[in-house]
Structure formats: structure tokens, C-alpha cells
Amino acid sequence: MKKLRNFICFLIFLAVLGTSLSYANNILIRKSLDKPWDMGNKIGGYFNEKKDYDVMFFGTSHAYCSVIPSFLEREGISSYILASQKQPLEANYFYIDAAISISHPKVVYLDIFNALSKSEADEATVHSYTDYFPFGIRKIHMVTKAVPKGMKLHTIFPLLMYHSRWDELKDEDFNFKYSMYHDDLNGYVKLSGQSPSFSKDKSMKEENLKSISLASGKYMEDKFKTILNIDELCKKNGVELRLIKTPVYDENVYRENLSEFSKMCTEHGLKFHDFNNEKDKIGLVEADFYDPGHLNEDGASKFSEYFINWMKEEN
């Protein structure tokens, strides 16, 4: 009897501890509500509202700056962009897995930029794709596969990362609930004009492009293995996977990698479409780019119109 009582007390202690940690996480976590980079709304809003969508887009920031879901909505196509900055393909797998079970999309479009270029996994980037992903077995698996060593624990328990925020807390931190996340742009990040660093000075543009670290060898092979896993996941659930590369300012930087990636897709029977080959048809000019990798609102409008026509041709 005493053992049973002790066991019940232990369970109550765990429940109280879990509730306390969850409450502390919710208070301390950055809410990320300031547009246009309001990832809390864009990711948290999706998981909070749990709607069905005909098509969904995944990838890095290249995905969330390129397609405008409201344009597709005019054609009777519901869509959502579930992407975040520098989001690795390993995380895309779990995002797509969750989306298939929640939204039952017919087609998944995945921008493959993460397979072309290496990017440093800094803490801000990692927390942008882990903080607003609902806690559960799927998130634990994602952290295991997609989060670098040394960052895994504080992505499961963000309070370890944000414990120093006590002096910054506002009323919204104490009163905010997950159910309040909402994005009326369905994941699209609307950028205006051009980034200050992406000036009209040609030398500045060249410096921006030189800073890109291209993928190669085992890195690219491992990324492609992840894409094959995503393809298998989609096939198992009756979802069509379409790999795409949205337009960038100077695709010549990635030309060899794009060619290699396209060859790998052909060998494995994957559908891949590089829209950089059609920038003239789309009507994109320098003024349509926010920076070397992202379309601004004008560029996204042009691309969205073209993409819709392409979708119709592809049936």
C-alpha cells in the first residue's frame, strides 16, 4: 500500500513538474509576432488551426518568399507555406510528415535550396524551426535527426535557451496562448523593395554572392538521401512530391550543383523543376529581388502568376 502511495505521489510530482516546465516554456519563448518575419504566427498558426490544404510548400526562406497563397486561392486552390529560414531538409521531413496527417495535401512542393548550399546552424535558426513545432514524439524525433549536437536539449526545453529573458518579458508573454498564433498570409513572407546590403552597387552584389558556401560530396549525397526518404513518405501516403527551385538573383552560382541535383533526380525518377531557367518568361528583373536569394513582393507576384499557369499545364 505504501509503495502504491509513493508511486502515485511520484506521478503527481511528474505531472506538476511537466506542467510547470510547459508554462515556463510558454512564458519565456520568443513569440516572434513582428511582420514580416513572424515565424511564431506562420508556423504556430498552422499547427494551431489545423486546416486542410490542396497543396503545401516546404523548404527554406526561398520557399516562403516566392509563392503567394492568395493568388492560388483565386484559382480555387487552397495552400500553405510551412517553411522557415535555413530549415534543413531533415526538419522538412518531419514538417511534411505532420502536414500530411493534419492537412491531407494532394501535392507537396519542396524547394531544394538546402541541398545546394551549406549554411551554419546557429541557435536562432534552429529555434525558428523548433520553437513553434508542437511538442510530442514527432518533435523529439525531429530534434534527434535535424538539430546539431549541443543544441538538442534547449530545443526540447526552450526555457534553457531563454532563461535570461526575465528582464525582457512583457504582458504579452504572460497572457499569450498558443491558440492566438495566426497568419493571414498562410506562411508567405511579404518583402518590400530591396535589402540595404543588396544595393545597386555591382561590387556589393558580387560580395553577397561570393559569401555563399556551395554544397558538395557527402553533404549533397546525404541531403539527397533525405529527399528520397521524403519521397517514400509521400508515396506511402498517396501524396505527390514535386521538387522545385524557386528563382534566385544569379543562378549561375549554383549552376553545377543544380545540374548534379537534376541528374540525381532523373536517376531516381523524381520530378524536379528549376524555375531559374524561365526567369525571362516570368518577367523577373533585378528590381524584383529583395536580395540574392529572395523575391520581394513584386517578384513573388510575377512568379505566383507563372507558377499557377505551370501547375495547370502540369495538371
Please enumerate in sequence order all residues whose Cβ is within 8 A of that of 136, keeping only pairs 6 or more positions apart, or say none: none
pLDDT value of residue 20: 46
Residue 179: per-residue pLDDT:
85
Which pLDDT score, from 0 to 100, does residue 45 have?
A: 95
**Do residues 193 and 296 touch, judged by C-beta distance below 8 A?**
yes
pTM for this entry: 0.88
Grid cell, residue 179, equals 491558440
pLDDT band, very low/low/confident/very high, at 37 (cuts 50, 70, 90): confident
Q: Compute the distance between CA of residue 265 and CA of residue 139 in angstroms, rounded to an integer.
A: 28
Radius of gyration of the chain, Cα coordinates, nearest whole angstrom: 21
Statement: residue 156 has pLDDT above 90: no
